[in-house]
Structures are given as structure tokens and as C-alpha cells.
Amino acid sequence: MVHLFRKSLLSMVGLILILLLLGVALIAPLLASEHPNYVEVPTEQGTTRVEERWDIHFDRALQPPSLQHFFGTDDYGRDIFSMVVYGSQTSLRICLMVVAISMVIGIVLGGLAGYFGGVIDETLMRITDVFLSIPYLILALAIAAALGRSIDHIMEAMIITWWPSYARLFRGQVLAIKEQQYVEAARSVGASNSRVLFRHILPNSIAPLLVEITLDLGAVLLVAAGLSFIGLGASPGTAEWGLMISQGRTLMFHAWWYVTFPGLAILFVVLGFNLLGDGLRDVTDPKLRR
Amino acid sequence: MDTSSTPTHEPILSIRDLKTYFYTYEGVVKALEATSFDIWKGETFGLIGETGCGKSVTALSTMRLIPQPPGKILSGQILFNGTDLLQAPEKTMQAIRGCAISMIFQEPMTALNPVYTIGSQIAEVILLHQDMPEIPQPKTINPLTRHKIKKARTKRAFEKAIEALDMVKISDPQKVAYQYPHELSGGMRQRAMIAMMLSCSPDLLIADEPTTALDVTVQAQILDLMKDLQRRKGTAIWLITHNLGVIAEMCDRVGVMYAGYIVEIGKTEKIFENPDHPYTRGLLRSIPQIMEDRRRLEIIPGNVPNLITPPEGCRFHPRCPYATAVCSTAAPPLVEVEPDHCVACHNYATAKYAVAGVKENHGPATD
Amino acid sequence: MDQPLIDANHIKEYFPIKRGMFSSTKDFVKAVDDVTIQITKGETFGLVGESGCGKTTLGRVLIHLIPPTSGTLVFMGENLGEISKRELRLMRPHMQIVFQDPSSSLNPRMTIKQILSEPLRITHRYKGEELTKKVLDLLQTVGLDKQHLYRFPHEFSGGQKQRIGVARALALNPDFIVLDEPTSSLDVSVQAQILNLLKDLQEQFNLTYLFITHDLSVIKFISDRVAVMYAGRIVEYANTQDLFREPTHPYTQALLSAIPIPDPRQRSKHLPLTGEVPSLVNPPPGCRFHPRCPHATEACKRIEPHMKEVSKDHFVACF
């Protein structure tokens, strides 16, 4: 199966892009020439929160890309390359956390609903429907208005609206696998419910979910960047790609580099996830190749 | 045999050296290497073999329905009424399919379109191939007349579809014509398929495992029906199955296939009485025959070969108790052992007189 | 052997058909309708019938994979309906099942070793080396060997997969095995191998079989006694020889005459059997076979016939 993956050039490109992202995020402190400071800032509720603060050098503001500053500098004189590099950490964190937590919630609820059926299924599905109907933008706005803008808050908003689709997907898979004869066979040799669920149903239902998850990582990134862009997410001063685009928007014609490089970063990462996801789908779908 | 249309010895279909390969990710599947046989006018010809031996591939190659990647018909000649089907243009094939040569499949549920009524599906075939001289073709280009003619033709085709359903002994064909495939039972669906495929009175009907998915009592009904229709219309039937009982009951001549080759072919009685190829013999001895007393079944040791890396020479030689050196180098040709009986085996003469040394246990399941 | 291994009386298995979420169920699929059957230790009991007659369901009920809707099921002297869940789990290793389709009865993501270890791990708490040894033993019993341990089901042929299914059923040293159409999806030559294997195993381990199939020639070969099922009821049962020599019930007669005989000189006439198998939701009243029976009388349409003994050990439900 792996060799099929290798044969698809685009999937390999996707894989390379994602590996690049992971690499950059991991060695960010080594790669970047400048580093942010982390300060404690009081929140609206009275507690404190840690935020990024970059040093300001007005003397070298808005310089085009050069050897000292590969991506140029912004209007506060901060090195855009370093900010993009550190931004990869932030983006990766957001994507992984949102998708991971949504997935766990979705699998648990979808699995219970699909496996037990009946009243449990109906109840859980109605609850899922309620959450499915919440638009993430409105929710993010509400949370930001009530609790202030931060990356954690947009993550919460996204998790709340993201898990229902996983629940449904997984439930569908469980319903299908549940009827397979090897599940019946496992019961005939005395397997308990939990054993059947974890050893038999789960491994066989998870494949389409993996494809979905990979594609979603890209989607989550776009949403997060979008929310930051309109001012709901990262607080100003943080190196977050969406936020940087928002800030560079007004300066687009004087300093094209401010908008371009974070934008390119988002482009390649989302592209990478999409290509990877497509490749995974082709590989796991038995009907497409054989 | 009590058919009134006795088969003449004139071939209606002649397959010569058919070679079909499938190019897959795992390698090249050499499905058919040099398949050759004839089917005579009006006879019932049976093609028997186990899963993967190539019998369906032969039928699909004849109809040119092999998916062209990954399959490819590499060489050979299939003569039907003077035309070489492998060289004919696609338009000719389309005219032939459903009209001169029809095919029915194993699972009628998947072969019938679930969103159209039975009647309309049969009518579609009729409309495609039949002329309907009672409805005049317009010479004018008047769109209104053309529309009226089209409606009249469709209506007439539907009536003919009902007649076809009646011909296959479906009770209340009027009602059934308006039903959808899922509303019918398996047996009725297969009858509907037969009706559809015989509606244009083809010269040859290819039936690929037509009763395998049906219950045994329904199978008996369908087989009786096919025999009856053959008697009335004189259609030649090419019956593909793995059930020796069906072959014995239905077929005048039979060909035994193994791993892409015809290994034995001839008149049914002769093959059953004197099976000369070791594979045929093994096959006959492994059926728990209903009239036989209980004893252990004889088995053919080993497994069907992988067609990506088939054995050299005779493809059966690794499992053959009579194999000699020549068997692993040269593929045996079909030789005539008696009139209407040919075998492809180097050692059929010695095998015939040897005591049956086929193993009597359940055999190790080697790869 | 006086006491039968399985003593099932008046077993009924009705599946409710639900319409919508909150409506009460009104219709039932009467898959098994009042079946009484005894199986003695060491015998092979054959159960024949066409699709939709309920034989698959009956097989599963007899090992309590599906609890019967009503009726008593006594296995090895214990009434399975009355014992606790824990006690049922203790009984389970003694009654196993081999499924029809080997491709779907083996978990495609588990290796053979994992598949065969599972029953052993659950019940007997085997571990480590002991476990591997036992699994190897099982494989060898069915004609496979060490090299197959770490492979996946899709790498095997149909016959080999079915052997693995048999090995799994044997893992817990059962007394009774239900074989649900074990050879129906296999080629004829592979079928022969499996049937011979089953016969050998029966002798070796003193097993009792319930062999379910629609193929009468297989039943004739392997069973000691045969029961014919139609629309949820048993219509005839007898010793195998007697049943085939003197089929008494009209359905049995039609069934036997419908089988194609692999002998071109004996092209028998098929007994005409019109109509279709009845729906199990609304079966015909009285004798369920009467709409298709050439000998049906008025009584057949109203009253259900009881089992009568027509000759020694040969019972028929017909007037």
C-alpha cells in the first residue's frame, strides 16, 4: 500500500510540505534570527495571561527583503522571517489541538451512538445536531466579546463547532462495521462489548476518519487565520500568520512583503495538508486503485 | 436430449488463440493465453472451471466488454457469422450486442438498473435493435410528426416487452412490466433478464453463471425455461458455470478450463464417462455426488496458480500426479482422442491406464 | 448416549419490525416458528433449506448467539435460558460456530495469530509462549503452518481462510460446532478438502456438528440425520439414507428432484414447483407449503400439520 503512495507525485509533495512545516516549527528558535519575549499581561477577568511581545526597532521599519532580513521588516521594525517561523509553531499548535480534541469527542460520542443504537443513538444525535447548527463565526465573536480575544478562545470556539462532523462520520462507520461477520465471530468466542469496540470496530472504522482529519488540519488553519485576520484571535503583537496579513493589509502597496510571506506560508501549509489528505484517500480507498 | 432443433455442426462462433492479459499494479495477469474453441449453431455449449480460470474473461472478450485499462486483448480471432469481432469497429459491436449476441449475468440485481421499471428496460433494448416496420419512418423533418412517431415506437416497444415477459412465463406480465427490480424476487429478476436478452432473438446467448445466486428449486425452473426457449427459437447457448450437475443436464458439448487454457473439450457424455485430463478427473471425483454412497472425497492437492506468475509449460503440472519433464516446458496442444473429444495433456494415454493415485486426505494447504 | 447434547423445544425466533422511532412494533419476521429438535453427541445433524427458510437463524439460536424469543434450549443438561450471564459465558466455549463467508468473518486488520489468540486470551488466559504454542497447534490441526502466523487474511485463498475459521472454532475445545454453509462460497475442489478436514476433525475430537447448507449433495455426504426446513418450520427429518431414499414431504421431493445430477445419461424431469418462497412476516395459514403443493387439500389451508412418524425415526409434517 505504501508503494502506491510513493507513486503519486502530488502526495509526495504534500508530505514534503508538511514535513517542512514540522521541521520549521521544531527548530524555530534555531532558525529565526530574532526571538519574542513572553510577558504576563492582565486579562479582563483579573487573572494574567502570557503573551508574545516582539522587540520594536523603529529605525529599521518597513525594509524590503535583504540578507539580514530575508522577508523584510514590518512597520514596527520586526523581522518578518522570524515572525513567520515562530508563527509556524502557533499554527501547528492550533491545528493539532483543535483537530485532536474534536476527534476525541467525536469518536467517543459517535462510537457510543453507533454501537448501542436505540435511545442512546437518538439522544446523542440530537445533541450533535444542535452543535452542528452553531456557526463558528458567531460563536467566536460571542466568546471574544465576552472573554476577550485570544488564540485559546478561538480554539475553543472551533472545537465546539468541529466535533459534530466527526461524530457523524464515525457513527456511520461504526454502524457499517458492526454488521460485519467478524464482529459476530468475536462475540461468539466470548468477547465483551468493550473488547469488540476497541479491538474490532475501532481499527476498522478509523480509516476514513484519518483522511478527513488530514484535510481538516488545513481547513482549521484557514479558519484560525481568518478569525485572527478579523481581530478575534491572536492579540496584536503575536506572530500569527492571519494577524500579520491583517496588519499588512493597509501597507500592501508600500511593503508587499508584509502580506506576501505570511500568505505564502498559509498557502503552502494548507496545500500540503490537502495533497497529503488526497493521497491518503487514494491509498485507503480500495475501489480507486486495485 | 429431446430438442427438436438438433445442433448442426456449423460453428456460429469460432474463437482462435485468444490472448487476454490484465495489467495491474501487482503485475501482468495472464488470464488467457491461447484459448480456442467453437460453438455450433443451436447447441448448448458449457464452459466449466473454477474461480479464476478465465471463463468469464473469455465471454467478456467475445463481447469486447473487457475494461481496456487494465485489460487488453492482445491477439486472437473471434469469428461470428463471418465477422472477426476483435477487429470490428465499436459501432458494429454495439449493433451486435443485445441483438445477435446477448449476455446474461450472475447477479440480476446489479445488472438491472434500479431506477427504471422492468418494462422500460426491456423496451430500451427493443427500441435499439428492432425496426418496427408497422410504424412508418417519416420522410419529413417535421418535429411534431417525429415526436409522434417516437412515442408510437416507445409504446409499441413496451408492448413487445410485455410479450417478452410472458414468453419467460412470468405470471401477470402486465403488472411486472411496471415494477422495479427490487420489487421482484431473484428468480423473477433473472427471468426478466432472460426476457430482455432474448427479446431480439439472438443467435447466441451467453449465460455467465445465471443460476449460481438462486435457490436450487428456482434454478431448476430457470434451466427448464432456458431449454424451452432454445427449443423454440433455436438460439445457441454458451453456458458458463462451475456446477457439473448443471453442465450434465443442460449441455451438448462442454469445455473444461483451467488457469486460462481449455484442457478438455468434447461431447458431454464422453467427457463425463471418459475424462482424460487429470484435472477433469480430479474435478469429477471431488463432488459429493448425490447418488454415491458416502466415502471420502478425492481431492486435487495444492491450489489454483497465480496467473501473474503461472507455471511454465502446462499450467496444471505442479498439481498433476502424472507430470513428467515435458510438462514443465511445453504447453500441451489439444489433441483428438476420439471423435468429439479433445484433451490438452502430454500424458493422457499413460494417465488413463494408471491407477488413480490422487491423494485421499484433506491435503496440506500450501500456497 | 441417552441424553441428547442439545434438546431444543418449541423454539421461536421472531424479529420485530420497527416502523419509525416511537411506533410500537406490530409485525414480526417469524424466522423460526416452533421448532423442536434433538441432537445427540457425536452425530452430524444436517439442516437443509433454501434461502429465507430460517436455517441460519436457527443455527445461531441453538448456540445462544441470539437468545430465542420463546422455547427452551437445553445444552449439556443446562437450560440456557435460565442460567446467569456469567454461567452462560462459561458454557460458551463448548458451543462454537464456523461462518459462511471466510472473507468477512476474519477481521482484515488482525494477523492470523491475533485472530486465533483472541478466544484463548479471553477464556483461558493463555499468555506468551504457551499461547503461541497453542496457536501453532491449532494451525497444524487444520493443515496450515508456522509461516502463516503473521500474515493477514487477505493474503490467503478462500479455502485457507475457511480453515482458519475452523481453527478459531476449535480453539476453545468445543463439544458442538454449528457450521453455517461453510463450503458454499468455495470452489468444488476446495470444498472437498474442507469436507474431508471436517470429517477428520470430528473423529479426532469427538465433535458434534450441526451442518447448515442448501446443497443437498453435501448433506448426503456428511450428515447422519437430516432435517428439511421451509419457511421457519421443519417439514421432515430422518436418517440421511431414509430421507434420500423415501422423501415423503412434497417439498422434500421437489427439492431432491431439482438438484442437477452430474451424469448426462440421467437427465431427470424436474418436479414442477411454481411460486416463490413465502414471506416470513405473513406466512400462509395452515401448512405453509400449501400454496405450492400439488397435493394440497382444504385441511392443509387451515390447520398446521404436526410431526408424524412415517417409519422408524422418520418424521414428516404433512397430512
| pLDDT at C100 exceeding the cut of 60 | yes
Q: Which residues of A touch C171 (CB under 8 A)?
A: 189
Q: Which of A185, A189, A200 shows the shortest C-beta gap to C122? A: A189
Q: Which residues of A touch C101 (CB under 8 A)?
A: 181
Distances C69 to A259, C15, C16, C283 between C-alpha atoms, Å: 71, 8, 10, 18
Q: Which of A122, A188, A200 shows the shortest C-beta gap to C107? A: A200
Residue C292 confidence (pLDDT):
79
Question: Which ipTM value was assigned to this complex?
Answer: 0.78
Nearest Cα neighbor of B303 from C100, C154, C166, C192 is: C192
CA atoms lying within 13 Å on the CB side of residue B310: 24
Residue B138 confidence (pLDDT):
63
Percent of chain C with pLDDT over 90: 11
β-pairing, C78-79 vs C70-75, is antiparallel
How far is the alpha carbon of A240 from chain B, nearest alpha carbon, in Å? 45
Contact call for B365 and C216, based on CB within 8 A: no
How far is the alpha carbon of C113 from chain B, nearest alpha carbon, in Å? 17
Task: Nearest chain A residue to B70 by CA: give it.
Answer: A290
Q: Which amino acid is at B126?
A: I
Q: Which residues of A touch C107 (CB under 8 A)?
A: 182, 186, 200, 204
Distances C169 to A194, C95, C165 between C-alpha atoms, Å: 21, 9, 6
Contact call for C262 and B245, based on CB within 8 A: yes
Residue A97 · residue A152 · CB < 8 Å = no
How far is the alpha carbon of A263 from chain C, nearest alpha carbon, in Å? 42
Q: Is A194 on the interface with C (CB under 8 A)?
A: no
Residue A7 confidence (pLDDT):
61
Which of B25, B29, B308 is the best substitution to test chain A (most A C-beta atoms within 10 A)?
B25
| pLDDT at B2 exceeding the cut of 70 | no
Residue B133 confidence (pLDDT):
67
What domains sit in chain C, N to C, each tagged with a CATH number? Answer: 6-317 (3.40.50.300)
Helix (H) / strand (E) element for C277: namely none
- Report helix, strand or coil for B240: strand
| pLDDT at B214 exceeding the cut of 50 | yes
Q: Which of C93, C104, C109 shows the shortest C-beta gap to A203? A: C109
**Per-residue pLDDT tens for A157-216?**
889 988 998 999 999 988 888 888 888 888 888 788 888 888 888 888 887 888 888 889
pLDDT winner (highest mean) among A60-74, B15-29, C9-23: B15-29
Backbone angles phi, psi at B101, to 5 degrees: -125, 125
Task: Nearest chain C residue to B362 by CA: give it.
Answer: C193
Give mean pLDDT, residues A110-124.
Answer: 88
Q: Which of C142, C197, C254 shows the shortest C-beta gap to B217? A: C254
Residue C23 confidence (pLDDT):
57
Q: Which chains touch C (3 or more CB pairs under 8 A)?
A: A, B
Q: Which residues of C touch B272 (CB under 8 A)?
A: 262-264
Q: Which of B185, B188, B287 shows the shortest C-beta gap to C217? A: B287
Residue A130 confidence (pLDDT):
92
Q: Is A168 on the interface with C (CB under 8 A)?
A: no
| pLDDT at B106 exceeding the cut of 90 | no
Structure-model confidence comparison of residues B111 and A46, the more confident one: B111
Residue A75 confidence (pLDDT):
83
- Taking CB atoms and an 8 Å cut-off, how many pairs form between chains A and B? 4
Q: Which chains touch B (3 or more CB pairs under 8 A)?
A: A, C
Residue A268 confidence (pLDDT):
92
Q: Which amino acid is at A267?
A: L
Nearest Cα neighbor of A66 from A89, A33, A31 is: A33
Residue A3 confidence (pLDDT):
56
Contact call for C104 and A190, based on CB within 8 A: no
Q: Is C121 on the interface with A (CB under 8 A)?
A: no
Residue C25 · residue C191 · CB < 8 Å = no
Give mean pLDDT, residues B45-70.
Answer: 88
Residue C211 confidence (pLDDT):
93
Q: Is A4 on the interface with B (CB under 8 A)?
A: yes
DSSP-derived secondary structure letter, C122: I
Q: Which residues of B touch C56 (CB under 8 A)?
A: none
Q: Which residues of A touch B25 (CB under 8 A)?
A: 4, 289-290
Give mean pLDDT, residues A57-71.
Answer: 83
Close Cβ partners of A285 (under 8 Å, ≥ 6 residues apart): none
Contact call for B24 and A4, based on CB within 8 A: no
Q: How many CB atoms lie within 10 A of CB A46?
A: 6
Contact call for C261 and B272, based on CB within 8 A: no
| pLDDT at C189 exceeding the cut of 60 | yes
Close Cβ partners of A17 (under 8 Å, ≥ 6 residues apart): A268, A269, A271, A272, A275, A276
- Taking CB atoms and an 8 Å cut-off, how many pairs form between chains A and C? 55
Task: Nearest chain B residue to A3 by CA: give it.
Answer: B25
The answer as to CATH 2.60.320.10 being correct for domain A71-284 is no
Helix (H) / strand (E) element for B349: namely helix B348-353
Least confident of B176-190, C21-35, C142-156: C21-35
How far is the alpha carbon of B189 from chain A, nearest alpha carbon, in Å? 27
Block residue for cell numbers 529565526: A32
Residue B238 confidence (pLDDT):
94
Contact call for C143 and B365, based on CB within 8 A: yes
Q: Which residues of C touch A203 (CB under 8 A)?
A: 109
Close Cβ partners of C166 (under 8 Å, ≥ 6 residues apart): C98, C142, C182, C194, C197, C198, C201
User: Can you tell me the distance from the alpha carbon of C166 to that of C186, in angstroms, rounded to the nearest whole number?
Assistant: 14
How far is the alpha carbon of A3 from chain B, nearest alpha carbon, in Å? 10
Residue B98 confidence (pLDDT):
82
Residues facing B207 on adjacent strands: B104, B239
Task: Nearest chain A residue to B25 by CA: give it.
Answer: A290
Residue B354 confidence (pLDDT):
54
DSSP-derived secondary structure letter, A79: B
Q: Which residues of B touch C145 (CB under 8 A)?
A: 364
Percent of chain A with pLDDT over 90: 15
Structure-model confidence comparison of residues B56 and B132, the more confident one: B56
How far is the alpha carbon of B20 from chain A, nearest alpha carbon, in Å? 18
Residue C164 confidence (pLDDT):
92
Q: Which of C195, C244, C267 shows the shortest C-beta gap to B288? A: C195
Block residue for cell numbers 427479446: B199
Task: Nearest chain A residue to C18 by CA: give it.
Answer: A118
Percent of chain A with pLDDT over 70: 94
Give mean pLDDT, residues C252-269.
Answer: 78
Where residue B294 falls among pLDDT bands split at 50, 70, 90? low
Q: Is A290 on the interface with B (CB under 8 A)?
A: yes
Q: Average pLDDT, whole number, for chain B?
A: 83
Which of B249, B268, B292 is the best substitution to test chain C (most C C-beta atoms within 10 A)?
B249
Residues facing B208 on adjacent strands: B240
Contact call for C105 and A200, based on CB within 8 A: no
Where residue B292 falls among pLDDT bands split at 50, 70, 90? low
Contact call for C104 and A181, based on CB within 8 A: yes
Q: Which residues of C touch B304 (CB under 8 A)?
A: 157, 187
Structure-model confidence comparison of residues C193 and C271, the more confident one: C193
Close Cβ partners of B285 (under 8 Å, ≥ 6 residues apart): B297, B298, B356, B358
User: Can you tell me the distance from the alpha carbon of A169 to that of A159, in angstroms, rounded to the nearest whole number?
Assistant: 16
Task: Nearest chain B residue to A4 by CA: give it.
Answer: B25
Task: Nearest chain C residue to A119 by CA: give it.
Answer: C21
**Per-residue pLDDT tens for B41-57?**
889 999 998 888 888 89
Residues facing C212 on adjacent strands: C47, C180
Give mean pLDDT, residues C93-114.
Answer: 88
Contact call for C188 and B246, based on CB within 8 A: no
Give mean pLDDT, residues B300-319.
Answer: 85
Tell me how many degrees the CA angle B128-B133-B134 measures, rounded to the nearest 5. Answer: 115
Q: Is A141 on the interface with B (CB under 8 A)?
A: no
Least confident of A154-168, B51-65, B283-297, C232-246: B283-297
- Taking CB atoms and an 8 Å cut-off, how many pairs form between chains B and C? 140
How far is the alpha carbon of A185 from chain C, nearest alpha carbon, in Å? 6
Q: How many residues does chain B have?
A: 367
| pLDDT at C250 exceeding the cut of 50 | yes
**Per-residue pLDDT tens for C125-184?**
777 888 888 888 888 888 888 888 888 888 888 888 999 999 999 988 899 999 999 888
Residue B243 confidence (pLDDT):
86
Number of H helices, E strands in chain B: 12, 12
Q: Is C203 left (phi over 0), alpha (psi -120 to 50) or beta?
A: alpha
Task: Nearest chain C residue to B213 by CA: give it.
Answer: C51
Task: Report pTM.
Answer: 0.79
Strands (E), chain C: 6-17, 27-39, 44-48, 70-75, 78-79, 95-98, 176-180, 208-213, 225-230, 233-239, 307-311, 314-317
Where residue A264 falls among pLDDT bands split at 50, 70, 90? very high
| pLDDT at B362 exceeding the cut of 60 | no
Nearest Cα neighbor of C98 from C203, C217, C195, C237 is: C195
For A169, the grid coordinates are 462520520
Q: Which of B216, B248, B296 shows the shortest C-beta gap to C261? A: B248
Where residue B207 falls among pLDDT bands split at 50, 70, 90? very high
Residue A237 · residue A50 · CB < 8 Å = no
